[in-house]
Amino acid sequence: MGISGIGQNYYHNNVATARNTKNVNSTGKNDGFAGKVTEKNPVSPEDMTFEEYKAYFNEKMDALYTHPSQRNMNWVIDITDAAYKRMQTEPEYEQKILDALAKNKAVDFGSNIPQIAYSFTDYNLFKGMNVIGTLQNYVNVFTTKKITTALTVTFKYAFITVPLKLIFALFIAYILNFKIKGVNFFRTAYYVPSILGGSVAIAVLWKAVFRDDGLLNGFLGLLGITGPSWLSDTKYSLFVICLLRVWQFGSAMIIFLAALKGVPQDLYEAASIDGAGKWRQFFSVTVPIITPVIFYNLVTQLCQAFQEFNGPYIITQGGPRNSTTLISLLIYNSAFKQYDMGMASAMAWVMFVILMIFTTIAFLSQKYWVFYSDEEG
């Protein structure tokens, strides 16, 4: 059988169905196309058809990886047609590629690979993986101006929205804790934004309110005031995004309201007898008792703030001039617009470490300001 017959037989039986079925038996002997060519028909790669050579090289590449999780490497390492053609005519280049692959064969590319491993590669969703074991992605995270700007904007966003959201939530919960007429209606009204605030529809509505000819500027125009460009001016764009986040304080408010219901009334009565007013009672009685709930809301709201995506993506797309580009938006753009999964993974892990540091600091600090009812003293 000639080389064309062998190649066609292999291609129809293997390449056309899986293209990379491994043909190495338990003894390590290659029974596939590469073995047939080298053992029975010592034909030069230059005399093969292009598809025959691709099948031939893929088997040689697969033979480098013996661990079960490393099978079918040509699905992971994407070699372009131009590279195949060059290897077919230049044996030195083919050997150079094989040597590079052999150098990295200890890397586990299987389904059990730790997700952090992708951050040490240049893995591209369509071009595959060419560089392994590099720290360049992490270097770029801290040296690329666009990424450092996104980190700065994310910190500003988190440190603005989290305190404001907690303050508004606690303030409204404190008011709604009093027995006033129609209190159930107000509780529902204040909670609705938390249900709808994260949706795409509300983000679109927010954009309609703050655009140049939107509802807010229209109202200001009736008062004779020229409204600014809320979404296209770097001085106001981040404020608009933060305002959307603060507006969604309903979930934290409900938790605070439940905590306020649990404060014993006799403590307020004792404080009142001692001459304490409402504000003194709030800061000296209410706040110390509900500090565990404040701590819980602080941690959860901090985590949610660093994960914010919908608002900046729909309202400003990160503009103007990256003034609202949060790190989550940059990770999305890197992964699903530029298909640079390695860089996106590195940014995600850096963000995870930063968030873990802040959370750890919060947990370590709670012994100084969080008071639990079961603690002595």
So what's the pLDDT on residue 332? Answer: 93
- Torsion angles phi and psi, residue 133, rounded to 5: 75, 30
Specify which residues 340 forms β-bridges with: 124
123 assigned to some structural domain: no
Asked if 97 and 243 sit in the same domain, the reply is no
Q: What's 166's domain CATH number?
A: 1.10.3720.10
Question: Which own/partner pairs from 197-205 qualify as long-range (CB within 8 Å, at least 24 positions apart)?
Answer: 197/244, 197/245, 197/247, 197/248, 197/250, 198/248, 198/310, 199/310, 200/310, 200/314, 202/244, 203/244, 203/310, 203/311, 203/313, 203/314, 203/315, 204/314
* Average confidence score pLDDT of the chain: 80
Asked if 77 and 171 sit in the same domain, the reply is no
So what's the pLDDT on residue 355? Answer: 94
Asked if 164 and 272 sit in the same domain, the reply is yes
128 assigned to some structural domain: no
Domain closes at, from 113, 128, 151: 113
So what's the pLDDT on residue 298? Answer: 95
Asked if 159 and 241 sit in the same domain, the reply is yes
265 assigned to some structural domain: yes
52 assigned to some structural domain: yes
Indicate the pLDDT class of residue 319, thresholds 50, 70 and 90.
Answer: confident
Asked if 195 and 334 sit in the same domain, the reply is yes
Q: Is 340 helix (H, G, I), strand (E, B) or coil?
A: strand
Domain closes at, from 94, 113, 132: 113
**What does 194-262 look like in DSSP terms, one character per residue?**
HHHTTSHHHHHHHHHHHSTTSHHHHHHHHTT-----TTT-TTTHHHHHHHHHHH--HHHHHHHHHHHHT
The predicted-structure confidence for 191-240, as pLDDT tens digits, reads as follows 777 776 666 778 888 888 998 888 999 999 998 888 899 999 999 999 99
Asked if 90 and 170 sit in the same domain, the reply is no
Asked if 173 and 300 sit in the same domain, the reply is yes
Q: Which residue has the higher pLDDT, 5 or 170?
A: 170
* Nearest by Cα to 298 from 172, 164, 162: 162
CA–CA gap between residue 309 and residue 346 (Å, rounded) = 18
Query: Percent of the chain scored above 90 by pLDDT?
Result: 35
105 assigned to some structural domain: yes
Residue range of the domain that includes 8: 3-113
Asked if 105 and 231 sit in the same domain, the reply is no
So what's the pLDDT on residue 24? Answer: 37
The predicted-structure confidence for 65-79, as pLDDT tens digits, reads as follows 655 444 444 444 557
Q: Which residue has the higher pLDDT, 327 or 24?
A: 327
Once rounded to an integer, what is the mean pLDDT over residues 125-150? 87
Domain closes at, from 63, 94, 113: 113
Comparing 15-24, 264-273, 311-320, the range with the smallest average pLDDT is 15-24
Q: Is 124 helix (H, G, I), strand (E, B) or coil?
A: strand
122 assigned to some structural domain: no
So what's the pLDDT on residue 54? Answer: 85
Asked if 252 and 342 sit in the same domain, the reply is yes
Asked if 262 and 163 sit in the same domain, the reply is yes
- pTM of the predicted structure, to 2 decimals: 0.69
121 assigned to some structural domain: no
Asked if 271 and 321 sit in the same domain, the reply is yes
Count up the domains in the chain and report the number.
2
296 assigned to some structural domain: yes
So what's the pLDDT on residue 87? Answer: 84
Asked if 167 and 238 sit in the same domain, the reply is yes
In this model, does residue 138 exceed pLDDT 90? yes
Tokens representing 365 are: 């600090």
Burial of 222 (0-12, 13-18, 19+ CB in 10 A): exposed
In this model, does residue 178 exceed pLDDT 60? yes
Q: Which amino acid is at 9?
A: N
So what's the pLDDT on residue 6? Answer: 35
